[in-house]
Structure 1
Amino acid sequence: MGSPKNSNPSNDEKKVEESFSDNFEMNVSLIKEAFSYPTNQSLKLRNISMLQGKKEGVILFLEGTVDTKTVEEYIIEPLFKVRDPFEDMDVLSLLADSVLATVGTKKVKKLQDAVKDILGGNTLILIDGEHEALTAESTGFENRGVSEPTVENGVRGPKESFNESMAVNQSLIRKQIKDSRLLCELMMVGNNSIQEVSIMYIKGVADEELLNEVKKKIEGIESDLIQNLPILEQYVESRAYSLVPSTLLTERPDRACSFLLDGHIVLLMNNSPFALVVPVTFWSLFHTIEDQYLRWAYANFIRIISLISIFIALYTPATYLAISTFHVEMLPPDLLFAIAATREVVPIPVLWEIILLEIVFEILREAGIRIPSVIGPTIGIVGALILGQAAVQANLVSPILVIIVAITGLSSFVIQDLNLGFMIRILRFAFIFIANFMGFFGIFLATACLFAYMVSLKSFNVPFFAPFAPYFQSSKGLIFRPPVWKQMLTPFYSNSKNDERGNKPKEGSSDD
């Protein structure tokens, strides 16, 4: 059985659930106790006097969360200018409708709601004799400006990325999708540290069942750990213990917009320079927004390179191990003798030679990320050159293996999605161990099992390999992208009543 401390609400929790009363001093005391004032000096109080001293009040806000100019010019100054008697009028309604010049105001009855609004950067107004309070919008959290993408870089397309402000991120999306059907719903997560989650979707395009499932998952979260989207992602994802991702994070507004137009749902939060996209398929992770900005021939060339890079990053070390251990007859004699000559002086078995180099490369990769950006890439390149050359000269590894690991590492950098990249990197080690025991037979068997597993997966009830498996009618742009004017069909999982995005070009409108 739980202890009384865990089973019964604390005194602080009971106080937070209280409602305001007609006792002005009591209302002020409730707010002070909720924020541990005067121990907590972040809470700022400003007494106000209206009607030439006939009506008293107080405004409260948290320092650093409000725009002081808004508080001074649009809240305090108008309140001091109130001269006409209220008579029998609703004081708070009069202040909200005719006095305060802020964007939004609302009445609150419960202390809990008042505390949430203050934490959200709003200003609370308490008036003597009123059993309710008034909150005025005055949010002023500091945010960095909109900058270029740092992960999803591209040659063409917008050079904007999300920042840590949910409002700014919403505006970046609305700047590109000027559609009245683009809706934004707000939900709250957390018990004590309440966070807002913005759910954006296009009404009539996004599937209603998908939307309800997303809302249900968010409503079921009871944790104060949800501070940003990467943490929320781990709560709403379909398979917590699977290496295969079921969600997608993007830092590019244009990519988020492309998903919205296809019927996906986009989640935004403060403190997160990303957008969380659900559902996702393998093709969502494989494709990049750059594909749409290039002419179809150039885009397909990049897609082929990306697909080859995935196979190189996943299979190359395991293939080398299988050939050198079980299938040496597959090598031409000259290449076989060259490899044997380089391995003759290496005392480490091939398996542990590969594992050693792979781990060293992963260490260099992580070090390059976490070292300050000015010298990070330099450290990675110089470190790889020095360590690789030193290891070969010390006869710890063979030169050909250094080349293989280097090609494998470079290929993994081509994979733009971080989650897909991690999946490939981890599976590479699994394939290495399987190849050490079973050779090519083990690689083929593991590949078949991997594909069978991924085909069976779903992301928010959408098959992971659809529309390829199971088959659905699509624009035929899974691996090779057709010209954009031929991509007329909406995705199968969208709720659009019209299966086509627009009218097909007239005959003779293109030169092909």
Structure 2
Amino acid sequence: MKKPSIKMLFEKNKSEPQFVEKSNVKDIELKKQDISSSYDKNLATFKSIFSVPKNTDVKVREFTIRALNRRAFIIFISTMVEVERIQESIVKPLLENELSTGEIRDIVSYPIEKTATVIGEITEFITGGMTALFIDGDIQSHLFETTNLTGRSIEKSDNEVIVKGAKEAFNERVIDNIALLRKKIKNENLIVDSQVISKRSRNDVFLVYQKDLANDEILQTIKDKLTSIDIDRILDLSILEQYLEERPRSLFPTILYTERPDRAASFIEEGHIVILMSNSPSCLILPTTFWSLMHSPEDHYLRAPYGNFIRLLRLFAFLVAVFASAFYIAITNYHVGMIPPDLLMAFAGTRERVPFPSVIEIFMMEIAFELIREAGLRVPTPIGPTIGIVGALILGQAAVQANIISPIVIIVIALSGLSSFIISDLSINFAIRMTRLLFICSAGLLGVYGLIALCMVFLFYLVSLNSFGTPYLAPMTPHFLSSKDLIIRHLPIKERFRPGYLKPKDMVKQRKE
């Protein structure tokens, strides 16, 4: 028997449609229709959609409205609502009220959120925690906001720890997160604009901004980006961030991720746009620059001299974390003449019995340090710090005694690793750690010349980055009118302007006396 050729198989597969969704075609068409005025048809439709009684947490309650003398039923998801409140404020008045009125609002002692007629829209509201009321003869459903999702209380921030300043952090309840922002910005111009993304999960996304500050063009760009996302599910802001980025493969992040409401509120007051999402204990700040990622909220809580000292120390730590290991390789392998004679003799004495070149030493210890760091994060909290300290001590001491690693390499790696911990933002921290490995390779190949060449490449690359139309290194390059809050923070009384690269509707935030 003759076997089919690859060309024949390709033509066959090409002619047959692939990945055609057949499982819920009927449901998709049904959800586009309006509800019926027939009580029995509506009851059967929604029992079928929610697989009642197979779906045990979906409850349907049938009764007769005494005041209207008409049959009705409510449907809700019991794990997402307050059942007792539904019974007391919705069902009981409908059963006991005998006043002859045609308005549900006059009978039910519970605020009606809205009415809807499309089956798919009503389904989305029910799965979001609302209770739907259907009355025999009505062509619309009454919807009640009965959502009561359990979650964590407002706690301290775990990842962005500061000594001075607010201690509150976002949690998984988006209502609480919005309330935290409202508490800090008591302004009628603060807009909370909701949008639903993903076809199956139907997650709620909230755009928070000040309408008299935020640039309309940037805002529309973000909305268009959210609308263009066509996917079944996005469960967390960390995943949504990857869909919003213009260059998702870039080493350097272009979106700021934070779990601190005070930090988010300060960016909103500057003209930025904040994205919140249900079930995510954080927010995204758009657009973002390199300097925003390098700053900490504590820089502004401290007095200007103290805040500037910490900021300069952080910038120095950034340079040490990126260049320390690579610079050590460059001068010990290619530019020995740069080292003073006494220090050179000390280096030579420590490396006398080490069999590996300095590049291999550095790579071995960098990988070991990363393993210890990740192990300390992943294991349970009580033993995490212990593993980090004991692992580093034992591994470093054993490697030196076995003449595998020289003591100076341990010092360089420890200094580089400690410096990276000062950078609080997780994304830029990862960028530093990965960039450091690239600089180590360049230094091993070409010494200081390789360092300078790769540094120039990275500068060109950073200049080419944009965050929703905003240059990544602004306002340093290109230059914009702003408060110049870059490396040195000025006194609060001197910060008169908002960032010019955002093109806010109101540039001046502090008038002259």
TM band (smaller chain): over 0.9
Q: Contact 1:458/1:464 (CA < 8 Å) preserved in 2?
A: yes
- Cα distance in 1 for partners of 2:159, 2:18 equals 49
Q: Any unmatched runs of 5+ in structure 2?
A: 1-13
- Cα distance in 1 for partners of 2:276, 2:492 equals 28
Question: Out of 17, 20, 40, which is 1:3 matched to?
Answer: 17
- Cα distance in 2 for partners of 1:4, 1:150 equals 46
- Cα distance in 2 for partners of 1:187, 1:53 equals 37
Amino acid at match of 2:114: K
- Cα distance in 1 for partners of 2:52, 2:18 equals 28
* Aligned residue number for residue 120 of structure 2: 112
- Cα distance in 2 for partners of 1:293, 1:5 equals 55
- Cα distance in 2 for partners of 1:331, 1:416 equals 33
The equivalences for 1:122-201 within 5 A come to 122-201=130-209
Q: Does 2:82 correspond to 1:67?
A: yes
The 1:104/1:360 distance shift into structure 2, 3 A limit, reads farther
Q: Contact 1:204/1:495 (CA < 8 Å) preserved in 2?
A: no
Q: CA deviation at 1:473?
A: 1.8
- Cα distance in 2 for partners of 1:26, 1:178 equals 48
- Cα distance in 1 for partners of 2:86, 2:414 equals 58
Q: Contact 2:67/2:100 (CA < 8 Å) preserved in 1?
A: no
* Aligned residue number for residue 45 of structure 1: 60
Normalising to structure 1: TM-score of the pair?
0.94
The 1:326/1:104 distance shift into structure 2, 3 A limit, reads farther
- Cα distance in 2 for partners of 1:100, 1:119 equals 22
Q: Does 2:87 correspond to 1:79?
A: no
- Cα distance in 1 for partners of 2:200, 2:457 equals 44
Q: CA deviation at 1:234?
A: 0.7
The 1:43/1:416 distance shift into structure 2, 3 A limit, reads same
The 1:213/1:402 distance shift into structure 2, 3 A limit, reads same
The equivalences for 1:131-280 within 5 A come to 131-280=139-288
Q: Contact 1:42/1:63 (CA < 8 Å) preserved in 2?
A: yes
* Aligned residue number for residue 54 of structure 1: 69
Q: Does 2:336 correspond to 1:293?
A: no
The 1:378/1:100 distance shift into structure 2, 3 A limit, reads farther
Q: CA deviation at 1:372?
A: 1.5
Q: Does 2:491 correspond to 1:488?
A: no
Deviations, residues 203-251 of structure 1 (Å, cap 9, x unaligned): 1211000000000000001112311111111111121111121101111
- Cα distance in 2 for partners of 1:400, 1:101 equals 75
- Cα distance in 1 for partners of 2:136, 2:342 equals 95
DSSP 3-state at the match of 1:450: helix
Q: Any unmatched runs of 5+ in structure 1?
A: 507-512
Q: CA deviation at 1:134?
A: 1.5
Q: Does 2:367 correspond to 1:359?
A: yes
Q: Contact 2:482/2:497 (CA < 8 Å) preserved in 1?
A: yes
Q: Does 2:29 correspond to 1:26?
A: no
Q: Contact 1:263/1:493 (CA < 8 Å) preserved in 2?
A: no
* Aligned residue number for residue 509 of structure 1: none
DSSP 3-state at the match of 1:143: coil
* Aligned residue number for residue 378 of structure 2: 370
Deviations, residues 138-169 of structure 1 (Å, cap 9, x unaligned): 00111100001111111111110000111110
Deviations, residues 19-47 of structure 1 (Å, cap 9, x unaligned): 21122111111111112222211211112
Q: CA deviation at 1:4?
A: 7.2
Amino acid at match of 2:71: E
Q: CA deviation at 1:443?
A: 0.3
Q: CA deviation at 1:81?
A: 2.4
* Aligned residue number for residue 5 of structure 2: none
Q: CA deviation at 1:53?
A: 9.1
Which is worse superposed, 2-11 or 47-56?
A: 2-11
Amino acid at match of 2:303: R
Q: Contact 2:213/2:506 (CA < 8 Å) preserved in 1?
A: no
Amino acid at match of 2:34: S
* Aligned residue number for residue 16 of structure 1: 31
Alignment coverage as a number of residue pairs: 498
- Cα distance in 1 for partners of 2:352, 2:190 equals 65
Amino acid at match of 1:193: S
Which is worse superposed, 15-24 or 193-202?
A: 15-24
Amino acid at match of 1:134: H
DSSP 3-state at the match of 1:200: strand
DSSP 3-state at the match of 2:109: coil
- Cα distance in 2 for partners of 1:211, 1:482 equals 29
Q: CA deviation at 1:85?
A: 3.1
Amino acid at match of 2:395: L
DSSP 3-state at the match of 1:59: strand
Q: Does 2:458 correspond to 1:450?
A: yes
Amino acid at match of 2:20: N
Amino acid at match of 2:266: S
Q: Does 2:466 correspond to 1:466?
A: no
- Cα distance in 2 for partners of 1:4, 1:28 equals 36
Query: What is the root-mean-square deviation of aligned Cα atoms in Å?
Result: 1.6
Amino acid at match of 2:202: I
- Cα distance in 2 for partners of 1:24, 1:298 equals 70
DSSP 3-state at the match of 2:191: strand
Q: CA deviation at 1:304?
A: 0.7
Q: Contact 2:37/2:137 (CA < 8 Å) preserved in 1?
A: yes
Q: Contact 2:39/2:71 (CA < 8 Å) preserved in 1?
A: no
Q: Contact 1:392/1:398 (CA < 8 Å) preserved in 2?
A: yes
DSSP 3-state at the match of 1:323: helix
The 1:397/1:5 distance shift into structure 2, 3 A limit, reads closer
Amino acid at match of 1:368: G
